[in-house]
Structure 1
Amino acid sequence: MTTTRVAVPRKGRPLEAVLERLAARTGATELADEIISTLRYEKAITKGTQDADGDVYHRIGDYSTLDDPHEPEFTLLRDDREGMPRRIVFDSVTVPTDHGDVQLVGREEPFRALRTHEFALGFDSADLVLEEVVQLRDEALTSIDEINDRIDPLDTDVRVVTGLGDTVYHTLLGTPEVADSQDGPLDRAFVANYEGELCISPRYERLVEAVLGTGALDDICFTYPRNGSEEEADIAATGLGVYLTVTGSTARDHGLELGERLFPSETVLLENAHERTETTRLVADLFEDPEETALQSV
């Protein structure tokens, strides 16, 4: 049987979501747990919250099995933290399935690897798709199943197939003083009627424009968190902002009220339709949740 290569992130929540979904479908739970626990340990070392067991070269040698593709391989990257430490990240592993072997291949930017036709299938954050290719319109983009309608077919052959449900949200946050300045909830309509500064991460500027709708931003001026400070603290100083939240506890600690959940930040399965085959279609089915409605990838 053939081997289908699938581009995946090298670390973090999106990779964990892919491994957990594949394990649920193939029974490769032990393998997924091994990769996830290894990368969490290495992240803790990089952040200085865990002492290293041996130097980085000995650790990567212990983790990687080069002569068996069904065992994981890891690689080294420079982390962008102070001192640019070397960080061990995922490289590849091959998992047997009913539709042939599936090789997960680590990429720094899986979405862009699909855009250049290196892969037929891959996983990345929905955030990156919004930042890269969705069209900006007056109307707000409110859900993942609307993304494909905003992608210009002349721009890319890549489409979103389905989400993996590892959802956190880009949430509208405001101080009580700002929230009480209008009647009604802290939502998109609030922003449309608001004049002033909106604090956002600079890397999410295009995403925020998409999920709020350009028509709501006529009287809005974006500001950005200062280097080294907490985003919630800068939003509190500004009065209104958008930031990723799970429980919202940190936002509340800074005196912020949680408004509308504007858009899910979720890992999505992507397909380059130009590279689609019957095998890649079957492999894509492995990652879909039968209780969810998959998106039309055309």
Structure 2
Amino acid sequence: MDQNRVVVIGAGTMGHGIAQVAASAGLQVALHDVSSDRIEAGLAAVERNLTKGVEKGKVQPQDRAQTLSRLTAAPDLSMAEGCGLVVEAVPEDIGLKNALFARLDEIIDADAILASNTSSLSIASIAEGTKHPQRVIGMHFFNPVHIMSLLEVVKTDRTTPDVLERTLDYGRRFGKEPIVVVDSPGFASSRLGLVLGLEAMRMFEQGVASAEDIDKAMTLGYRHPMGPLRLTDLVGLDVRLAIAEHLHRELGSEAFLPPQILRDYVDSGRLGKKSGRGFYDWP
């Protein structure tokens, strides 16, 4: 097993971001998705991010070139064999994750770590399809991955101390500040952040203030780097709706009941930045 080899499953916004920070840390990274087009789109997004970093003076040209040289496409899951860490960043579907983890469990070494980037699903439930649940753990990154410093590491009652410590070490190598959270609905970040986001939506729905002014209340009044509605647009309204519905079921709290405006926007295709329109209009 090579601790310096990482495989990322899912080449979307979170997946390619995770691949970027791992490659920037000097690790060899393979990026996998269900089609070669998606993989290539993910790799192209990493290249654009790094190019912007060079243009802004935040990334050295040689670092950009070296990072890209460490990134490869993984058209087949068999490329995970012998790696030290697999990070899953596929859609928030427990059945999909169960099936994926069961397949990976048969491919990777017994000591390798299987991590999920889920923001709300139970890590223990994701591990149910594996023969080695003790090496399954949560690694919840934040968008945009190459900028946000927090990493939420989620342990279950079966996660071994060795797996936890190695996961924390990977997180630090990726340039993140990890926190440790016990496996529970919404963990720490989603449970806290979603309450704020949903209340901001209700305020907007009730005409309390514009989206811009609601966001300014938090950025200027509480020094949040980004307002809750703009953040919702970046995360994706469909993603936030799915998480809210999940936490409402799991916790039974009305605080997580999705407001009607969120359902209406998702039904009409207003998903945020990725669709060009959410609570804001995006170019």
Smaller-chain TM-score range?
0.3 to 0.5
Q: Which has the larger radius of gyration?
A: 1
Q: Give the helix-richer structure, 1 or 2.
A: 2
- With CA pairs under 8 Å and 6+ residues apart, which has the higher RCO, 1 or 2? 1
- The alignment's TM-score, normalised by the length of structure 2, stands at 0.35
- The alignment's TM-score, normalised by the length of structure 1, stands at 0.33
